[in-house]
Structure 1
Amino acid sequence: MSFDFTGQVAIITGAGGGLGRAHALAFAARGAKVVINDLGGARDGDGASLSAAEQVVKEITDRGGEAIANGGNVTSEDDMQALVSQTLSAFGRLDILVNNAGILRDKTFSKMSLDDFRKVLEVHLMGSVIATRAVLPTMQKQEYGRIVMTTSSSGLYGNFGQSNYGAAKLALVGLANTLKLEFSKFNIRVNALAPVAATRMTDDIMPPQMLDFLTPESVSPAVLYLCGAAAPNGEIITAGAGTFARAKIMESKGLYLGPDATPEQIAAQWDVLADLKTAESFDQGSNQSQKFVVNAFENKP
């Protein structure tokens, strides 16, 4: 199976550097026309400049590709609507959205201001929501679209000092899990990427010996896969240093203890009900509810 994006148009947010830049170059190398969105702010989100986005556009056009720059803020509905209008005016269609824009404001939870907590949620979570809502009418009309949410190991597993970032990143998995159901009838597939890469977001978090392996370019093949014609729907791919894996939220088979169960019973049977050897993953929340009701029905007096 080959991945040729000739004739397709991809919007990538936060594409002025790091992972977004690597994704943009990878799409352009395979024929896509690319919209480089980047506010051009600092790592914490302050400031704005179009120069980073324009530099990536130059890299693409110098190699014979097609790209345009956009300096819109993903947290602004007006900016994201303008981004879509600019894309359609320049290229006539819109096939792919990679929600990659993000900021960091790390501190332990007890020392973090609520302002810093809200700001990170606003950019990562609401920025992805707003950008996705902006592209949706076009994708629905053409009955085709590929959307990628950028989650993180901080959201899936936790990371010291990143409660705001982790909360936003896991929320994006919840968003993707619902959108995969709502958009599937339009042939719009929504997946999540959990990348690890050496960028300005991580250059003072990881030791240099690790960063040497974690190139942004080693992550981008996963994004191309998630945006292909035969892309999966509702998957989480983890990627870093050339390794790719599938992540899933799993639930043990469980143990029926009855409507009058006590915490003492849960404690006594913990090893049994927590056993993940027969764990399963559900396609939607109602599957879990069905499991509970079936267990109760099968065990009724």
Structure 2
Amino acid sequence: MEYFIYILLNNIIPLSILIGIGALLQIIFKLDIKTLSKLNFYLFSPAVIFKMLYESEISLTILLQVLLFFFIFIVLLFLLVELVMRIRRYKNEMRSAMRNSVIFYNSANYAIPLNQLVFIGDAFTLSIQIIIMMMQSLLPNTYGIYSVNVHKSDLRDTLRKILSLPVIYVIPLGFLMRGLEIPIPDSLYQPLNYVANAFIATALLTLGVQLGSMKWKLKISDVVLSNTLRLLVAPALGFAVVWMLGIKGMMAQALVLSCAVPTSLSSVLLAVEFDNEPEFASQAVFSSTVFSIFTVTLVIYLLQFIP
């Protein structure tokens, strides 16, 4: 019950308030969602990723173990989603939208505070979550862009779009500057903090604006399928992968918990930026965030059975 109340008060209600404000602003002022999307892709998201990597303390051993888990988990999840979509006979745009709603998950503003609650501020489990966040930031800006453009653009144009995104460059830059202990002058670090702190609010307002502009042609079966795969199947697969790799203790628990969080806002940002099923993407993010109150609480309870 403690986790249920915490998730409700510290994740669902704050997120819902900002989403609601975004929807209200859209109804009143008819905002330009493309401009909001570009601000997220080219400014706020790169800033928060660089800042977290620059400030983190991650050892090479932990990095390699977590990357191995993440690679196996994502490949298995990808194959599972592909199988389900073939059975459902989805077309091109819906295929990429469904895939993105399952394999891209909220590893930053939802998973990091959740990790610190469950593991009581443990620095080791936080470093694990930061690595997952880094990979979950890189995937939408590489494979995610490829998947929503591959059926309507040539490969050269798609690669040009991927290489134009700052996230591709800030991840190695963040690691390099942290590893070499290169200091950032306060005159630069202060504006970086301002921009990074604006990421969550801007991303949630963008989701609200998208929800406020929708005609709400509900695709209930598709949204339910997405939520089931993201909130129930994914953490079950996480349990299976840590067992298969022989990972135990707090590392195993942190990895499984990282798989249980709802669909990432990046799936909405991709859908809006490249006009790829934005209504479905918005509904999937919003509903998975709400239903995660129950599913994440269940996963937290089951963590105690990991040796």
Instruction: Give 1 or 2 for the bigger CA radius of gyration.
Output: 1
TM-score, normalization: structure 1?
0.29
Instruction: Name the structure where strand makes up a greater proportion of residues.
Output: 1
Which structure shows the higher helix fraction?
Answer: 2
TM-score, normalization: structure 2? 0.28
